[in-house]
Structure 1
């Protein structure tokens, strides 16, 4: 009998019977009951507390705000996908803007050096956001590979306001992660940050130094009271 089997045998033969899985209604990780406005306020408060930037935009005119961000931050080369509606709309809107659009749907070996050295920003869609932690969640695809949000100095993410959930548990439950989780999922809660032994926090050392979230509102841009 192996050591593992011996340990399991002792557990199964406990004097007070086998161990049972404790019952839980998971109330500690869900059921916040926040309104739409409260979710927006909490999301913005937490993500901006770690140097994320939030811009509220009207869904029908979000590309105007995108163009403004690119100009303000001096972005000359923007990496993005092709197939997702966010990428398709951005490509159409930026056709006459002095920004070079870099195709992201390529094998990483074909443009690795270009991505690390000559791309100023990456644009991605998001699947939603988490109000409790101020996080975005992304499911990378061949059209929007994960390095698109992890490598360029600036990550611009487009979030629909009505896709905000209260907690991470709510996201996992509502979207059926147990039966349909991708090979990887990304949770983004701000720009890349790290700290040395003296606890001096630095941004952008191992990834984007800036995160800009364009929050799209179906009925027009709306602010929040954080």
Structure 2
């Protein structure tokens, strides 16, 4: 958000509350806090060295009912996606994000791949992600021309590709990473396991608001 837009919004809020402009000292303090947000208390589960964070991400993602494959490089991606589809008796057909990181899916093996947004008839989507959060096993996906949000919700089966180098400890680190990446995307989706809800008796139902299966392919790009 630009400074002019922020000023306009804050001015309207102050007017609705019957308050005047902020004193210069208070405005300086506010601007400083917005420019350099201070993290809150970070739990121990969000700390550790790189190897610990990757292993914790795997543990927490699987605890949230996501399945997971680990591969050494992107060349193995078509094979593990095809094998996962076969294990679940799904046709070898996917709709994949137009992101260049998924170009490896095309022209390899038996997969039929189309690129672009998802439609109601699509059964399986494949997307990259922005980050993985070790604290909770959460995937962070951002919207954009190369990563349509419909891929995250319409198909019953969602395959997400995450690199080990994208895994951060906690949410504070993820938000700092996102701010450093540049302009904030229109949508940030945080996905922990497949979609689920509980009925009045708290019986868990999968696929209520999105995919009933979430499969993560973790590329160990930090093995060296």
For normalisation by structure 1, the TM-score amounts to 0.76
Q: Find the counterpart in structure 2 of residue 15 from structure 1.
A: none
Contact kept, 8 Å, 2:99 with 2:128, in 1: the verdict is: no
User: 1:149 and 1:49 mapped to 2: Cα distance?
Assistant: 20
Q: Find the counterpart in structure 2 of residue 168 from structure 1.
A: 171
User: 1:173 and 1:192 mapped to 2: Cα distance?
Assistant: 27
Structure 1 residues 187 and 6, CA gap change in structure 2 (3 angstroms): closer
Q: Describe the SS at the equivalent of 1:93.
A: coil
Structure 1 residues 218 and 25, CA gap change in structure 2 (3 angstroms): closer
Of 23-32 and 47-56, the range deviating more from structure 2: 23-32
Q: Find the counterpart in structure 1 of residue 96 from structure 2.
A: 80
Q: Find the counterpart in structure 2 of residue 53 from structure 1.
A: 67
Q: How many residue pairs were aligned?
A: 203
1:159-217 Cα deviation digits (max 9, x unpaired): 10111001111011123169511111111111011111222211112210000000001
The answer to whether structure 1 residue 43 and structure 2 residue 46 are counterparts is no
Q: Find the counterpart in structure 2 of residue 119 from structure 1.
A: 122
Q: Describe the SS at the equivalent of 2:95.
A: strand
1:103 alignment partner, one of 115, 125, 149: 115
Aligned Cα root-mean-square deviation (Å)? 3.3
Equivalences for residues 139-150 of structure 1 within 5 A: 139-150=142-153
Q: Find the counterpart in structure 2 of residue 63 from structure 1.
A: 78
Shift of 1:6: 8.7
Shift of 1:75: 2.5
Shift of 1:65: 1.4
Gaps of 5+ in 1: 13-17, 106-111, 221-226
